[in-house]
């Protein structure tokens, strides 16, 4: 009697080649569910329909196809146990040696724009995971394939072992199978629980009754990276969810492979550019996850040039993000210095030959800069911290002017610019700007005075008439006095210190404008 191989697949990629090899080269009898059998038959290969083998028709519009004791008995039987053999004989069941299944495309279905709950539910595969789990449980006797990418490996295995599979190989497939059904079920649970929104709502409720009892990140398509932050740290880049989004959907037009640090810096650049929307051309240059230059210009070339000149020393080896397509003028400017990466929503075709002069420069196209994650996740010893991302838009209409001096509309615009940048600088953050360009950035200092000194020193003479944003409140009036002495005109800060009155008094004394946003933007 021929050994049995069961094939039941939604994604029919590679199916016919595999079926042909199994039946003609390795002499398997193929049994398949309706659609799979039809495809195999159409290729003039021999196949038995599951319903013919079991004598039970597919019912409920396909909700029940393979859920039958003749199928699951054949998969789950321990062939080393005489009592199992007896059961097989008594029930005219043949052992099934190879099971090839891939599941209804649940994640692809829910990613569709107007998906209905009905559609989503009908795409929850029941029989498929049951086949996969049963086969994986009985890996000592059954080889289970849960993805077309495994077909070639199976054929090599059969070739190397006279039409058999080794226990080691089957165990490896079983592990992959359980991981697959786990992530499949996680996607379903996430979707049915209201997806991310309800996770975040439950975070906001802060009540243990409403918090999810577990938190799972569903990651796919691992891409090995050369290394992590440093060469001795192995690292992998995973795509979150089944459909490529964000950086997983970005197109790399040229340059070396992306590194771990490139991706972190690109993400920092993306989040700043997203802040400025699409109204005006904006450019940002990132170094070590902090911006070293951010600017708005009348053209994208001008915005880049202003961002570059903001701190040309630090821009060397930087990561650039632009919110307009790269045109020839900008490409020529980009080529003037060593940069690691540049990302833009598009590239004018003629710039390819200009940028290719810098062969190592990674050029990426990201069509949507606004697709950030709504939650951030960090690991700590024995735990994981999850929070809503700091992605709420800046709302200047809620700001309060607390000084006698009021800002002019132009000054308010500049303060908005400074504030938008400051929330993306590691705390303690002080950002000095002028003409919609950063001219001094103090990042990641352990006290705010230190950050202010660094930012003001970098701004130098240009601090005269410039604007200052602070991501957290001023605990004392010292930074206000230092800023005024350097020539700062207006300050935006959250407020909320016990000594706010001291800072406001100093601002009034020194003739500054001070605006309180009422919201803090620490970034660790
Ligand atoms: N209900 C069942 O008994 C069942 N058995 C297998 N499936 C799935 O049906 C699909 C294949 O169907 P077809 O061969 O009819 O194209 C596969 O994705 C497989 O995972 C089933 N469908 C869903 O639960």
Q: Is residue 252 part of a domain?
A: yes
- 159 and 67 in a single domain? The answer is yes
Query: What does the DSSP assignment read for 54-117?
Result: HS---BGGGTBSS-SHHHHHHHH--TT-HHHHHHHHHTT---EEEEEEE---HHHHHTSTT--H
CA neighbor of 367 nearest in space, from 238, 273, 259: 273
Q: Is residue 240 part of a domain?
A: no
Question: Which atom of ligand 1 has the smallest separation from the CA of 101?
Answer: 20
Q: Which of 147, 165, 191 is the last residue of a domain?
A: 191
The CATH number covering residue 272 comes to 3.40.140.20
Q: What angle do CA 204, 207, 213 make, to 5 degrees?
A: 95
Cα 60 to ligand 1 centre (Å):
12
**Looking at the predicted structure, is the pLDDT value of residue 208 above 80?**
no
- 160 and 271 in a single domain? The answer is no
Band (242; pLDDT cuts 50, 70, 90): confident
Cα 39 to ligand 1 centre (Å):
14
- 354 and 404 in a single domain? The answer is no
- 345 and 407 in a single domain? The answer is no
Domain that holds residue 456: 396-516
- 79 and 161 in a single domain? The answer is yes
- 113 and 251 in a single domain? The answer is no
Q: Is residue 236 part of a domain?
A: no
Helix 167-192 to helix 195-205 angle (10° resolution) is: 70
Mean pLDDT, rounded, for 218-229: 91
- Cα–Cα distance between 519 and 524 in angstroms, integer? 16
Handedness of CA 243, 245, 247, 251 (dihedral sign): positive
- 67 and 155 in a single domain? The answer is yes
Nearest CA to ligand 1 atom 15: 35
Q: Is residue 216 part of a domain?
A: no
- 404 and 356 in a single domain? The answer is no
- 168 and 44 in a single domain? The answer is yes
Binding pocket residue ranges, ligand 1, CB within 6 Å: 8-10, 33-36, 62-67, 101-104, 125-128
**Which among 41, 288, 426, 505 is annotated as catalytic?**
288
- Rounded to two decimals, the ipTM of the complex is 0.93
Question: Which atom of ligand 1 has the smallest separation from the CA of 37?
Answer: 14
- 40 and 163 in a single domain? The answer is yes
User: What mean pLDDT, rounded, does the chain reach?
Assistant: 93
In the chain, how many domains are there?
Answer: 3
Q: Give the contacts of 99 (CB within 8 A, at least 6 positions apart).
A: 5, 6, 75, 131, 132, 135, 142, 143, 144, 145
This prediction's pTM:
0.78
Out of 10, 18, 69, mutate this one to test ligand 1's pocket (max ligand atoms within 8 Å of CB): namely: 10
Mean pLDDT, rounded, for 150-170: 96
Q: Is residue 330 part of a domain?
A: yes
- 35 and 172 in a single domain? The answer is yes
Mean pLDDT, rounded, for 295-301: 98
β-pairing verdict for 375-380 and 48-49: unpaired
Q: Which of 143, 165, 191 is the last residue of a domain?
A: 191
Beta partners for residue 469, in sequence order:
431, 492
Instruction: Dump strand ranges (E) for 219-361.
Output: 219-225, 235-240, 251-254, 282-287, 290-296, 318-322, 339-344
Mean pLDDT, rounded, for 498-513: 97
Cα 159 to ligand 1 centre (Å):
29
Q: Which of 191, 208, 223 is the last residue of a domain?
A: 191
pLDDT tens for each residue of 426-471: 999 999 999 999 999 999 999 999 999 999 999 999 999 999 999 9
- 347 and 477 in a single domain? The answer is no
Nearest CA to ligand 1 atom 8: 128
């Amino acid at each position: 009697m021929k050994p049995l191989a069961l094939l039941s697949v939604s994604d029919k990629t590679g199916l016919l080649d595999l079926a042909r090899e199994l039946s003609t080269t390795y002499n398997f009898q193929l049994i398949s569910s309706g659609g799979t059998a039809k495809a195999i038959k159409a290729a003039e290969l021999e196949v038995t329909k599951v319903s013919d083998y079991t004598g039970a028709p597919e019912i409920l519009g396909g909700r029940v196809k393979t859920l039958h004791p003749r199928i699951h008995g054949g998969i789950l039987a321990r062939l080393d146990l005489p009592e199992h053999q007896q059961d097989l004989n008594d029930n005219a069941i043949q052992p099934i040696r190879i099971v090839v299944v891939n599941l209804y495309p649940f994640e692809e279905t829910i990613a569709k724009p107007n998906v209905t709950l009905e559609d989503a539910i009908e795409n929850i595969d029941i029989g498929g995971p049951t086949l996969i789990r049963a086969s994986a449980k009985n890996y000592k006797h059954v080889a289970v394939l849960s993805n077309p990418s495994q077909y070639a490996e199976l054929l090599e295995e059969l070739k190397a072992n006279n039409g058999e599979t080794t226990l080691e190989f089957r165990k490896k497939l079983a592990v992959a199978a359980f991981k697959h059904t786990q992530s499949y079920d996680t996607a379903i649970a996430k979707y049915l629980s209201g997806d991310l929104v309800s996770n975040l709502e439950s975070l906001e409720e802060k009540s243990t009754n409403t918090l999810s009892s577990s938190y799972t990140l569903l990651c796919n398509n691992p891409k090995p990276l050369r290394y992590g932050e440093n060469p001795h740290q192995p690292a992998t880049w995973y795509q979150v969810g089944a459909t490529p989004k964000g950086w997983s959907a970005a197109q790399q037009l040229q340059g070396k492979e992306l590194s771990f640090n490139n991706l972190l810096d690109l993400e920092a650049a993306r989040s700043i550019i997203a802040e400025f929307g699409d109204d005006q051309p904006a450019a940002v240059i990132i170094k070590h996850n902090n911006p070293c230059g951010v600017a708005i210009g009348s053209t994208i070339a001008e915005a880049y040039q202003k961002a570059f000149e903001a701190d040309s020393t630090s821009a060397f080896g930087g990561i650039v993000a632009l919110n307009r397509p790269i045109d020839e003028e900008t490409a020529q400017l980009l080529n003037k210095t060593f940069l690691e990466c540049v990302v833009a929503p598009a590239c004018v075709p003629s710039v390819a030959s200009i940028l290719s002069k810098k062969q190592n420069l990674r050029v990426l196209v990201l069509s949507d800069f606004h697709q950030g994650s709504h939650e951030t996740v960090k690991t700590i010893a024995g735990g994981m911290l999850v929070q809503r991302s700091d992605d709420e838009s800046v709302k200047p209409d809620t700001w309060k002017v607390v000084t006698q001096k009021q800002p002019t509309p132009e000054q308010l615009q500049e303060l908005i610019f400074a504030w938008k940048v400051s929330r993306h600088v590691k705390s303690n953050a002080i950002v000095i700007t002028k003409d919609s360009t950063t001219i001094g950035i103090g990042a990641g200092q352990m006290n705010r005075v230190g950050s202010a000194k660094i930012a003001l020193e970098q701004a130098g003479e240009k601090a005269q008439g410039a604007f200052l944003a602070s991501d957290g409140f001023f605990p004392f009036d010292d930074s206000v006095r230092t800023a005024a002495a350097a020539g700062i005109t207006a300050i935006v800060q959250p407020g909320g210190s016990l000594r706010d009155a001291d800072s406001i008094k100093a601002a009034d004394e020194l003739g500054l404008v001070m605006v309180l946003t009422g919201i803090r933007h620490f970034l660790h």
